[in-house]
Structure 1
Amino acid sequence: MLRRFLTVAALGVAAAATVLLSAAPALAHGFSSTVYVDVTAGDAGRVRTTVELEYDLFIVSAADYESDDPLFRAGTDAFEAEDAVAMGAALNAHRESAVRYVTERFGISSDETCTGAPSGDFTMGAREGVPYATMLLDWTCPPGGDAHEVRSALFPDTETYVKGVKTIVTYALDGRTGSAALDASAPTFSTGQSWQHRFGEFFLLGAEHLLTGTDHILFLLALIAGSRRLREIVLAATAFTVAHSVTFMLAALGLVDVPARVVEPVIALSIAVVAGWNLIAAYFDRPDNNGRLGVVFLFGLVHGLGFAGALGIDEAFSWTLLWSLLVFNVGIETVQLSVIALVFPLLIVLRRRSPRAGRWATGIVSAGVSVMGLIWFGQRLLEG
Structure 2
Amino acid sequence: MRSAIHPPTFSPGARRIALLLVALIFALLSQAALAHGVDENDKAFIEGASGVNIIPYMYLGAKHMVTGYDHLLFLAGVIFFLYRMKDVGAYVTLFAIGHSTTLLLGVMLDIRANPYLIDAIIGLSVVYKAVDNLDGFRSWFGISPNPKAAVLIFGFFHGFGLATKLQELTLAKDGMIYNLISFNVGVELGQFMALAIILLLMNLWRMSGNFQRSAIFANAALMTAGFVLVGFQLAGYFTQGA
Aligned 1:32-51 pairs, distance under 5 A: 33-34=38-39
Question: Which residue is 1:250 aligned to?
Answer: 105
- Seen in structure 2, the aligned counterparts of structure 1 residues 314 and 383 have a Cα distance that, compared at 3 Å, is closer
Aligned 1:1-384 pairs, distance under 5 A: 2-4=6-8, 15-16=21-22, 19-20=25-26, 23-24=29-30, 26-29=32-35, 33-34=38-39, 166-169=43-46, 180=49, 191=50, 195=52, 198-280=53-135, 291-312=146-167, 320-348=175-203, 351=206, 353=207, 356-360=209-213, 362-384=215-237
Deviations 1:68-114 (A, max 9, x none): xxxxxxxxxxxxxxxxxxxxxxxxxxxxxxxxxxxxxxxxxxxxxxx
Offset of 1:313 from its aligned partner? 6.5
Q: Is the 8 A contact 1:251 1:305 kept in 2?
A: yes
Q: How many residues align?
A: 227
SS class of match (1:3)? coil
Instruction: Name the TM-score, length of structure 1 as normaliser.
Output: 0.50
Deviations 1:295-333 (A, max 9, x none): 111111000011112322788996721110111011111
After superposition, the CA RMSD in angstroms is 3.7
Give me the whole-angstrom Cα distance separating, in 1, the residues matched to 2:19 and 2:210: 18
Give 1:215's aligned amino acid. D
Give me the whole-angstrom Cα distance separating, in 1, the residues matched to 2:166 and 2:204: 38
SS class of match (1:167)? helix
Give me the whole-angstrom Cα distance separating, in 2, the residues matched to 1:17 and 1:344: 19
Q: Is the 8 A contact 2:122 2:154 kept in 1?
A: yes
Question: Which residue is 1:105 aligned to?
Answer: none
Q: Larger Cα Rg: Structure 1 or Structure 2?
A: 1
Q: Which runs of 5+ in 1 are unaligned?
A: 36-163, 171-178, 181-190
- Seen in structure 2, the aligned counterparts of structure 1 residues 370 and 210 have a Cα distance that, compared at 3 Å, is same
Give me the whole-angstrom Cα distance separating, in 2, the residues matched to 1:263 and 1:342: 27
Give me the whole-angstrom Cα distance separating, in 1, the residues matched to 2:65 and 2:132: 23
Question: Which residue is 2:240 aligned to?
Answer: none
Deviations 1:222-261 (A, max 9, x none): 1221312112111110010001111111111134212113
Offset of 1:213 from its aligned partner? 1.3
Q: Is the 8 A contact 1:253 1:314 kept in 2?
A: no
> Which structure shows the higher helix fraction?
2
Q: Is the 8 A contact 2:8 2:214 kept in 1?
A: no
Offset of 1:377 from its aligned partner? 0.9
Give me the whole-angstrom Cα distance separating, in 2, the residues matched to 1:348 and 1:202: 32
- Quote the sequence identity (%): 23
- Seen in structure 2, the aligned counterparts of structure 1 residues 168 and 369 have a Cα distance that, compared at 3 Å, is farther
- Seen in structure 2, the aligned counterparts of structure 1 residues 383 and 298 have a Cα distance that, compared at 3 Å, is same
Give 1:20's aligned amino acid. F
Q: Is the 8 A contact 1:253 1:313 kept in 2?
A: no
Q: Which runs of 5+ in 2 are unaligned?
A: 238-242
Give 1:332's aligned amino acid. V
Question: Which residue is 1:153 aligned to?
Answer: none
Q: Is the 8 A contact 2:46 2:171 kept in 1?
A: no
Give me the whole-angstrom Cα distance separating, in 2, the residues matched to 1:238 and 1:320: 27
Instruction: Name the TM-score, length of structure 2 as normaliser.
Output: 0.76
- Seen in structure 2, the aligned counterparts of structure 1 residues 312 and 15 have a Cα distance that, compared at 3 Å, is same
Give me the whole-angstrom Cα distance separating, in 1, the residues matched to 2:45 and 2:102: 20
The structure showing larger relative contact order (alpha-carbon pairs under 8 Å, at least 6 residues apart) is 2
Give me the whole-angstrom Cα distance separating, in 2, the residues matched to 1:366 and 1:245: 27
